Amino acid sequence: MFHDTPEAIVERMRVLENLNATDRQDGTATFERLRQVPPATGRFLAIVAASAPEGAFIEIGTSGGYSGLWLSLACRATGRTLTTFEMSPAKIEIATATFEAGGVDDIVTIVPGDAREHLADHDAIAFCFLDAEKDAYQECYDLVVPRMVGGGLLVADNVISHEDVLKDMVDRAIADERIDALVVPIGSGLLLGRKI
Ligand SMILES: C[S@@+](CC[C@H](N)C(=O)[O-])C[C@H]1O[C@@H](n2cnc3c(N)ncnc32)[C@H](O)[C@@H]1O
C-alpha cells in the first residue's frame, strides 16, 4: 500500500489476497483461479505507472481486479484512467465488484472479450501491463508496442516463472530496437520495456 491509500482499497486488496491464497490451496481449476500478482509486483506496477508520460493506461488480463487496484493508485496520483481487458465473464463479475468496492469504478473501465480484438482501437499508450494467457503475449506485444508513445512503459508478468514458453518473446523484446528492455526479478519475473 502507499501512505495515502484509501481504506476501501486496502480492504478490497485484503479480500482478494485471501481469495487468491485460498484458490491456490482448495483445488480450484487453474483458469478459474485469480492468479493475481503478489503485493510487491503491485507496488512496482503502481510506481512505474505513476512515472509514465502523458497517454493512456491499459492492462491486459484483469482477473479479479487486484493489479487494477494498484494501477488505480497510479491513476489517482496522476489524474489518469485505466482501461483493462478481460475475457472471462466470471472474472469480470469479481473485478466489477472490486472496482466498486474500492471506489475507483469511475476511473477504471473493463473491456470484455479477447484483448487482441480491441487493442487496435487504442492509441497513445503510455503504460501497459500485460498479464494474459502466455500464448497471447507475442500478439499483444506486437499490437501494443507500435501504439505506445515515446517514453511509454510496458510491463509483462511471468517471464521468469514461465521462462520456457515466454523465452522467444522476451528475447525478441530485448533485441527490439523500438524499446529498451530488461527482466526485473520481482514476483514471477517482469519484463520492463521503455519505448524509445
Ligand atoms: C494471470 S490473470 C491476471 C491477474 C491480474 N492481472 C491481477 O494481478 O490481479 C490472467 C487473466 O487474463 C485473462 N485473459 C487471458 N487471456 C486474455 C486475453 N487474450 N484477453 C483478455 N483477457 C485475457 C484471463 O481470463 C485471466 O483472468
Structural domain contains residue 94: yes
Print the domain residue range for 31.
7-195
Give the mutation target among 17, 34, 35, 37 for probing the ligand 1 site: most ligand atoms within 8 A of CB.
Answer: 35
Tell me the CATH number at 85.
Answer: 3.40.50.150
Structural domain contains residue 109: yes
Backbone angles phi, psi at 162, to 5 degrees: -120, 45
Average of per-residue pLDDT across 121-140: 98
Q: How confident is the model at residue 100 (pLDDT cuts 50, 70, 90)?
A: very high
Structural domain contains residue 79: yes
**pLDDT over 80 (residue 161):** yes
pTM, rounded to two decimals: 0.97
Query: Which grid coordinates are listed for 36?
Result: 493475481
- The whole-angstrom separation of Cα 67 and Cα 84 is 10
- Residue 77 DSSP class: H
Structural domain contains residue 86: yes
Structural domain contains residue 1: no
Pocket of ligand 1 contains residue 143 by CB under 6 Å = no
**pLDDT over 90 (residue 24):** no
Q: For the chain, what is the domain count?
A: 1
Structural domain contains residue 157: yes
